[in-house]
Amino acid sequence: RVGAIRFSSAEAAAVSLGEPQAPGGMAPTKDSENDSRKKTFSEILAERQVQAQRTVLINCPPNFNAKAFLKYLSQHGNIKNHFFYKSKAMYAVIEFSEKESITSLQDVITIPEFKDEYPIPFKSRILTLMLRKQSDPGSEQTQILCHRQTSIPVEMLLKKLCDAESVSEQLYLLTNECQLTEENTKLRFLACSLIQDIASAYVPDCIVKPFGSTVNTFGKLGCDLDMFLELNKVGKNSAKRKTSPFNIIYQMKKAPSERIAAQRILNMLGEFLDNSGPGCEGVQKILNARCPLVRFSHQPSGLQCDLTLNNRIALKSSELLYLYGSLDPRVRALAFSIRYWAWNHGLTSSIPGAWITNFSLTMMVLFFLQQRQPPIVPTLDQLKKLADAEDKEVIEGFDCTFVSNLNKIAPTSNTETLDVLLGDFFEFYGNFAFNKNSLNIRKGKEQNKPEASALHIQNPFEENLNISKNVNAAQLQRFVSLARDGAWILQQVEKRPLDNSKPWGLAALLQASEPGRVGKGFKRLNVLNSDRVKDLLNSLKM
Ligand code: GTP
Ligand code: MG
């Protein structure tokens, strides 16, 4: 049957209730069954980067025979992995076993010819499959499974949550439903690798690495892709220099400061992405920000990207969150759910402003877990004590040392359930003395606030900085009132009603943000929305 391809929008991850699943792609897997050592963050990252370099992204036409196409591609080498997904069009992600297969494939790829337009000939690994002739009517019909790359709608999630047995099960269910899948993680690493190819045209040997929610185990399907360009590796090969009487250096243009150099490089890359980067649309150069960046939409992957420069401390913070998220399943489920709750209530936003960021929010969850008796997660100082000589890392003068081997961290003896932890989290922050105290996850203790910001969370590595300096008093107040409401709602509807008549537990918490459903939530939300609009307008004015 000609062109009779049926697309099934498959749920990528099979969800089992009450059982936390490994975070897609960033699970600390072991090398083999006999090897008890879990891989470190750097090892997983390196593995994923190599995988991405062996991968191509192909825009596929409707009505094509996928099986025959895969067979055609395998003339160039063994296909180790592949999957299909839909963004604006359907795409195939094809991972070869060997990088050389891509070179072989490139030998048969041609540059397109357009009628009234002209191609800008940057040869990337984003390709388009064209059909030379109509499919053979006798050819086998292929059913293509398209992997979902976005979170399920809130209403559908609420229904699922209501069917769970306990609040704890609800938190695991939410995490399993909305976390990054293996395929989405692969796509994110591929997007970084594609941007690296473009950047390499200017700066050979540079590396583009993902950080933030793509790798910290708390990423939700649909979250932005934070990436940074590492230049420092270039020209650092000084081993031979020391033994020779000669020293040859590159002639380079100079900039008056590191910040200005970063702005110039990002400006140049922004232009290049805009003019020649296949699939890069809506490029914005935000060069005057504290951390200058280029923001763009990567159309083929459907990812919104933020590209920064030499952001090694940010990668280290992401590794720290990854480590905490991998220690105990409750940590990831609680932090993931709190981040979802905050997003659902409009407490966080992808637009920069006076609101709490997901990074700060995650630190608040970790700090809360350090306060339990016995603590559920160790302090950063304790993680530093467990570090090996190879773990020692000083970045820009800041000591970022902590243990990388997960096996060295003893599991907690705390057995509290997430039912208890969720309610207590809201109570803890509903009553926290934010006016006097600062949160410090390095020491695991509250400290006197050194400055007047509304919310003070000490940067784990750059200890003189406050990661939530941007948060204003109104936004903090919204967080506190929503936390108090959360504690109250959970006390009222903690258990599943026998007749399934009302949303309960986490579903009630999330539903309280939907206007009209819960009277109390509705009134409060109108006020919040107007605050939010004001803040948005102010941030735009700034
Ligand atoms: P979403 O992008 O909102 O899904 O969450 P995320 O986990 O990626 O968090 P966010 O985008 O807020 O931050 C990404 C990374 O940037 C964090 O993991 C940190 O490494 C870094 N970062 C964010 N805020 C700060 C800050 O105030 N100071 C420093 N030094 N780093 C920060
Ligand atoms: Mg982010």
Separation of CA 85 and ligand 2 centre (Å): 23
Calculate mean pLDDT across residues 422-446.
97
Distance in Å from the first CA to the final CA of the chain:
59
Distance from residue 34's CA to the centre of ligand 1 (Å): 36
* DSSP string across 65-83: -HHHHHHHHGGGS-EEEEE
Tell me the per-residue pLDDT of 380-401, one tens digit each, with 9 for 90 and over. Answer: 999 999 999 999 999 999 999 9
96 CA distance to ligand 2 middle (Å): 29
Ligand nearest to the backbone CA of 348? 1
Lowest mean pLDDT among 56-65, 130-139, 202-211, 513-522: 513-522
Among protein residues, the one whose CA lies closest to atom 32 of ligand 1: 314
Long-range own/partner contacts, residues 455-459 (CB < 8 A, 24 or more apart): 455/356, 455/360, 457/360, 457/363, 457/364, 457/367
Distance 135 CA to ligand 2 centre (A): 43
Q: Whose CA is nearest to atom 18 of ligand 1?
A: 212
Tell me which residue has tokens 């045209």.
201
Taking CA atoms only, the protein residue closest to ligand 1 atom 3 is 358
Q: pTM for this structure?
A: 0.89
Q: Name the residue with the closest Cα to ligand 1, atom 22.
A: 314
Mean pLDDT of 431-443: 97
Averaged pLDDT of the chain: 87
Give residue 212 CA to ligand 1 midpoint distance, Å. 6
Cα(199) to ligand 2 centroid in Å equals 21
The residues pairing with 308 across neighbouring beta strands, listed in sequence order, are: 228
Question: Is 376 or 204 the better-scoring residue by pLDDT?
Answer: 376
Atom of ligand 1 nearest to the CA of 357: 12
- Tokens 């995490």 map to which residue? 175
Q: Whose CA is nearest to atom 14 of ligand 1?
A: 212
Which run of H or of E encompasses 370?
helix 358-370
**Measured distance CA(438)–CA(291) in Å, rounded:** 24
37/339 Cα distance (integer angstroms): 30
More confident residue, 114 or 155: 155
pLDDT at 257 over 90: yes
Spell out where 49-147 has E strands: 55-60, 79-86, 90-96, 126-128, 144-147
478-518 pLDDT, tens digit per residue, is 999 999 999 999 998 777 777 777 899 999 999 866 443 33
Of 96-105, 247-256, 327-336, 416-425, the poorest mean pLDDT is in: 247-256
Closest C-alpha residue for ligand 1 atom 20: 314
Per-residue pLDDT at 5 exceeds 80: no
Band of pLDDT at residue 435, cut at 50, 70 and 90: very high
At 237 the pLDDT is: 57
pLDDT of 511: 86
Label residue 136 by pLDDT band (50, 70, 90).
low
- For tokens 């637009």, the residue is 351
Ligand 1, pocket residues at CB < 6 Å: 211-213, 216, 218, 223-224, 226, 313-314, 317-318, 357-359, 459, 462, 467
